[in-house]
Amino acid sequence: MDDETQPETISLRLASWNLNHWRQPLLPADTRRAAWEYLTRDIGAQVALVQEAVPPLEFGRDRVVYGEMAGHRNWGSAVVALDPAVCIEPLGSVRNAWSRRRFLLTNTHPGSVAVARLTVPGIQPITLVSVYGVLDGSVVSTMLRVIADLVPLFDSPYGARVILGGDLNVSRATKDPKHLARAEAVFATIRSLGLVEAKSLVTEPPTSSPECPCGSGATCDHVPTWGRAELDHLFVSPSLAGQVRAVSVDPTAVTAGLSDHVPLVIDLELSPERTPHIWDEESFAEEIGRRHGPAARDIIERLVSWADQKERELASATGVRTKTLTRFPTNGSTIDPELWWQVDLELEPKGIQSTISIKAKGDVVVQFGNMRHPPFDSTEARDELRVTLNEMDGVDIPARQLRWWPRFPLSVLEDPANLARLVAVLDRITTESHAAPPAVADPPAESEDLVAAAAE
Ligand SMILES: [Zn+2]
C-alpha cells in the first residue's frame, strides 16, 4: 500500500449533554460557568449538543445556535462551537428535490431542537441536531413529532452527514412492555431516517449498570446517563459510521455536581472523502464556490436569480404562471453535481424546454440536443442562438454542434458582458418557447370483437 494515497483524517470530539440548568436557582452554587469550563477543558469537546441549557452571552453569536423554549422555560437546546478551529451556522429550513417550498425543521416545541451545520477545515460540512424530548403529556408523542419534523432534512442536501444527539427522555431500559414498545417505536423512527446509534459502532461502548432498570444485571447495552436510566443517545449517518472511533461517558460531571446527566462523548476520525448527496441550487452554488472561487459562485447565484425574476415577470405579464424556471433539476445523489436551467411549459400540452446546464467541474453545457419544443426544435432557430452565444469572448461553438451538447468553460461568464449575452439567450428561449399541439392520433381500428359485441 502506498501511504501517500491515504487521505489525512482530522480528529473531532463532540459531546452531548443535558446541563440541567433549569434547576439552577435550587442549586447551592452557580455551576453553569463551571459546566462550560468542564466541557471545554476537562472533556476537550470541540463542539457540543446541549439541552436544558443557556449558552453564555460571551460565547458570541457565531459560536452558538440556540433557541429558547420560552413558556415557563427560559432555556433550550443548542449546538455550541467550543473550538475556535470549527465553525457552525444555523440550519432552519431545507428544500427537497420535488418542491421549491422550504420546510421548517423545528415545529414541535421550538427551542427544544437546534440544527446547525458544522464546518471543520478540509472536511465536508456535517449537520448537527441537538434534541430534547419535552414532557408534554407524553415524551413519546413529542419525540415522534420531532422526528417527523426532521424528515425533510433527510430529503435535502444536508441529510447525508448527520450527527443527532440529546436527552430524548425515552429509554428502552425498562421492564414495562408498554413503555418498551413505545420506546422501540421512537428508535425505529430514528433508524428509518438512516441513522445508526453511535454506541453500536464501537468495540468498547460504555458499560451498563448492574442495577439497569431493564433487570438484565449489566448484561444489556443500556448506558446509564441519568442515574441508572439511559435517557441520552447519539446517532450518526452511515457515511460517518466508519469514522466513529470511541463513545464514552464521564461520571465526574455528576459527582462534581455540574448536572444530573453524564455527558455522552463521541470521538471521530473525519475523512476528507466527500459523501454523495442530493443537491439544490443553493448547495450547488456553494460547491461551485468551493471548487472555483467566489466569482464562479456569483455567476450561479446571478443565473438562479435571473430565473426567479423572469418567472415572476412572465407570470405578472400574463396574470397566471405559464412557464416555471425555478425547478432546477439536478443529477441525483452524487459528489459531482450538475444543475439544469429548464423552462417548464405549464399550459396544455405541457412540455420541458432545455436551455443550459452547469457541471460542478466548471463546464456550461448548451442543451441543443434536448431543445424539443418550437421554435428551437429547428436547427435554423438554434443556429441564431449559437451565433449569439459565439459573441461571448472565449466561446466558439461550431455549426455541426447544433444537434448536440456543446460546452464552454464557466470562467467565460466571469466577464459581465459575456454573462449578459448568455442571459439574453436564456431570455429569448424562455420567452419564445411553446409546446407543440399534440399530433392528432389515427382513429383506432375497429375491433371485430367489439363490433360483434355491439351487434349482440
Ligand atoms: Zn439494561
One-letter amino acid of 69:
M
pLDDT of residue 140: 96
DSSP symbols for 187-247: HHHHHHTT-EEGGGGSSSPPPPPTT-TTSSSS-S-PPPSBTTB--EEEEE-HHHHTTEEEE
pLDDT of residue 162: 98
Q: What is the pLDDT of residues 123-137, one digit of tens each?
A: 999 999 999 999 888
pLDDT of residue 97: 80
The domain made up of 7-270 is a member of CATH 3.60.10.10: yes
pLDDT of residue 453: 44
Cell numbers for 376, please give them. 428551437
What confidence tier does 343 reach under pLDDT thresholds 50, 70, 90? very high
pLDDT value at 72 more than 80: no
State in Å: Cα 174 to ligand 1 middle.
7
pLDDT of residue 282: 95
Distances (CA, A) of 381 to 270, 340, 378, 395, 456: 52, 21, 6, 19, 56
| Measured distance CA(25)–CA(19) in Å, rounded | 13
Instruction: Give the residue from 197, 191, 173 showing the smallest Cα distance to 183.
Output: 173
What confidence tier does 32 reach under pLDDT thresholds 50, 70, 90? confident
Sequence-ordered alpha helix ranges (H) in 9-135 = 32-37
State in Å: Cα 401 to ligand 1 middle.
68
State in Å: Cα 192 to ligand 1 middle.
23
State in Å: Cα 218 to ligand 1 middle.
6
| Measured distance CA(418)–CA(336) in Å, rounded | 25
Distances (CA, A) of 32 to 29, 76, 168, 252, 362: 9, 14, 22, 15, 50
State in Å: Cα 264 to ligand 1 middle.
17
State in Å: Cα 224 to ligand 1 middle.
8
pLDDT value at 100 more than 70: yes
**pTM (2 d.p.):** 0.90
State in Å: Cα 219 to ligand 1 middle.
7
Instruction: Give the residue from 380, 390, 328 showing the smallest Cα distance to 356.
Output: 328
Q: What is the pLDDT of residues 164-190, one digit of tens each?
A: 999 999 999 999 999 999 999 999 999
What confidence tier does 18 reach under pLDDT thresholds 50, 70, 90? very high
Cell numbers for 231, please give them. 435517557
